Amino acid sequence: MADYKAPVAEYDFLLRRVIDAQHVLDVTTGGEVALDDVREILGHAGVLASEVLDPLNAVGDRAGNTLTDGKVTTAPGFTDAYKAFTEGGWAAIGLPREAGGDGMPGVVTSAVNEVWGAANMAFSLGPGLSVGAAYAIYTAASDELKKVYLPPLVSGRWTGTMNLTEPQSGTDLGGIRTTARPRPDGSWAVKGQKIFITWGDHDLTENIVHLVLARTEGAPEGLGGLSLFVVPKFLPNADGTPGERNAVHTVSLEHKLGIHASPTCVLDFDEATGWLVGDRHRGLEAMFVMMNVARVGVATQGLGVSDRAYQRAVAYAAERIQGKVAGHPAGTPIAEHPDVRRLLLSMRSTITAMRALQLQVTAWLDLARAERSAQAFQLADFFVPILKGWLTENSVQITSDAVQVHGGMGFVEETGAAQHLRDVRILPIYEGTTAIQANDLTRRKLARDGGATAEAAYALVETSLEPLRRHDHPVAQRTADRLDTAIASSREATAALVRQSKDNPRDMLAGGVPYLQQWGLLAGGWMHARILTAALESPQDPDTARRILDADFYGAHSLSRIPSLTEAIQAGEIV
């Protein structure tokens, strides 16, 4: 079984040579953090991940959680792991300094979060949601609520949850029936049931902070009538310590396909005491802060588990002797078989594209906040649904390919390959399905501006062509030609969708997911073009040959899919 190795060197290359992360660090930290510091941070995260979290991944998968007398007990080792996580200061790394955090930008925290997701996705879900809850409270809550809830959330002493879904209300949040009734003391009585609440109850911390969408009396129907409330498991005392148990009850634990160590709860709020976060009837705005943090976080988890599955597949393929191929008369490691090699190259080249795109999108988000850059915000807004949808769909394919590399041993649990596939299957569903992300991309972005942002993105991708053509290398020329062809084809798809948005919106919606996938493939090709350019400028780098091979493979096997997706998009809804 392969030990997990955090991709510290790969991040160092991308941050230095491809993304210009030093500029991001300068404007977000005032020059206090350098790229050498980031490499050191990732190295420390890698140690905790490989020594503490990764060994618990299979343990948690087998043991799961138990619910007894309304209390959830987590898998063996998880309480100690969480203690090590918080004592290392990891809970606060990406939260704003004004909120008590370390203020690290997204280009740092997304890299760290990949490491957590790779080592133990079920564990990483809890801290990830807590960051989102802290952001929502920091952005929308009153100063009084911030004073009570931010310090323990930022330190990791308390964790946070997101409570949206109900039995009758999934994606359509307008159907939420949970209610909130005002009390004379300024608090609210929250009543209703929420399902699929990730880390809704556990024994890792002294308190849990539930952020709950509910409808107040007389509120308008639909989304505009929702308000957001903070409802703690234990009501805080005057000194901030947990006091009386609130009327929040864990009804059951969901029995899931994967992420068994993450307690997914059905919670009953029986006139539970809560406090309004932000303005009444504007709860969805505040909750979207948490949801957007979660969208990027879920994409990063998909990347992390993909890389973990790839590392496991590479190790197995190098050791497994099967048959004979020329040059290996005594028996051939399956890594040398052409189709296994194809699978491994497909996994590796896609993961490289995913990782670089994740860094680019988080860099835009960082610059949008720090420099108030309208261009960075526009690009980030366009690419976040692509990032979420493409990375999570890729994670299902890559972990499935890892099972395939293992052959029959991948279908049994002892190799660990099957767990990765089971775990990531939720990711294209979390925080809005791939279709929801595609609807956001096409209905809210593409149709709204007539394709102007898409055209700005195409122009940006085209800037990578000329640097490639300057290199007298056959892969550079092939990559530029393939990328040029892919851009032209995708432009045709964009034009078709803009027409469909006016003539027949159902056609546009039918092509939404193919369009999202097409943009992911194109953006991945753009990342490879930039990586290839940087690699060709460093011929002595021991990884240059690998990067050249990956770019060539991606161009032939991934960029080549774009014209077929254009045809599907142009076809619209076939009934």
Tokens standing for residue 145: 């609520």
In eight-state DSSP terms, residue 473 is -
Distances (CA, A) of 98 to 94, 147, 150, 291, 372: 12, 12, 10, 21, 18
In eight-state DSSP terms, residue 89 is T
Scanning 278-373, the segments in alpha helix (DSSP H) are 283-319, 338-370
Catalytic residues: 431
Tokens standing for residue 542: 């021991």
Beta bridge partners of 158: 207
CA distance 258 to 425: 8
Rg (CA), the chain: 24
CA distance 76 to 64: 9
Taking residue 516's Cβ as centre, other Cβ atoms within 10 Å add up to 26
In eight-state DSSP terms, residue 321 is B
Beta bridge partners of 230: 211, 275
CA distance 420 to 424: 6
Give the end-to-end CA distance of the chain in Å, rounded to a whole number. 49
Query: Given CA atoms 378, 381, 386, 387 in this order, what sign does their dihedral have?
Result: positive
Tokens standing for residue 239: 């000194």
Distances (CA, A) of 545 to 24, 528, 532: 29, 13, 10
Contact 304, 111 (CB under 8 A): no
Contact 275, 229 (CB under 8 A): yes
Contact 208, 195 (CB under 8 A): no
Scanning 141-270, the segments in alpha helix (DSSP H) are 143-155
CA distance 500 to 345: 37
Contact 228, 211 (CB under 8 A): yes
Q: CA torsion 94→98→101→107, rounded to 10°?
A: 20
Q: Indicate the residue type of 221.
A: E
Contact 198, 161 (CB under 8 A): yes
Letter string b/e over residues 275-308, b meaning 16 or more CB atoms within 10 A of that residue's CB: bbbbeebebbebbebbbbbbbbbbbbbbbbbbbb
Distances (CA, A) of 301 to 123, 189, 355, 436, 499: 11, 35, 11, 19, 35
What is the per-residue DSSP string for 510-552?
HTHHHHHHHHHHHHHHHHHHHHHHHHHT-TTSTTHHHHHHHHH
